[in-house]
């Protein structure tokens, strides 16, 4: 379980930036789905901003040299789980779009 916001913030960025990159790649590979890819990219970006704002709240309760209280550690775990779930959800949407383009 993470004990500080910094590794969770990095994980949020890594997970959701993977979605952004996959969205850009989709729009390059299948320009006919550019609008859908851009929508997913915007959702991923909004998720990054929202989750980082939640991490800022946790960070504000962190006192240097003092471990975070258990409720804030639980909040870090929750944010991490939300980032993972959101990333998988958005990557699944991108994968579904790619599946629409399967040629026979």
pLDDT digits (tens, 9 = 90+) for 45-91: 999 999 999 999 999 988 888 888 999 999 999 999 999 999 999 99
Tell me the C-alpha distance between 23 and 44, whole Å. 9
| 40, burial (CB in 10 Å: exposed 0-12, middle 13-18, buried 19+) | buried
The token pair that represents 94 in the structure block: 């991108």
Domain enclosing residue 45, as ranges: 5-61+68-100
Looking at the structure of the chain, the number of domains it has is 1
> What pTM, to 2 d.p., does this model score?
0.90
3-state helix, strand, coil in the chain (%, to 5): 85, 0, 15
Q: What is the mean pLDDT of residues 25-54?
A: 96
Tell me the C-alpha distance between 94 and 34, whole Å. 11
pLDDT band at 28 (very low <50, low <70, confident <90, very high): very high
């Amino acid at each position: 379980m993470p004990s500080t916001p910094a590794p969770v913030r990095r994980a949020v960025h890594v997970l959701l930036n993977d979605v952004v990159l996959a969205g850009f790649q989709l729009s390059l590979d299948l320009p006919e789905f550019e609008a859908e890819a851009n929508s997913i990219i915007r959702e991923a970006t909004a998720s990054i901003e929202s989750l980082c704002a939640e991490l800022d709240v946790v960070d504000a309760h962190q006192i240097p040299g003092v471990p975070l209280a258990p409720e804030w550690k639980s909040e870090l775990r929750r944010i991490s789980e939300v980032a993972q779930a959101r990333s998988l959800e958005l990557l699944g949407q991108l994968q579904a779009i790619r599946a629409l383009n399967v040629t026979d």
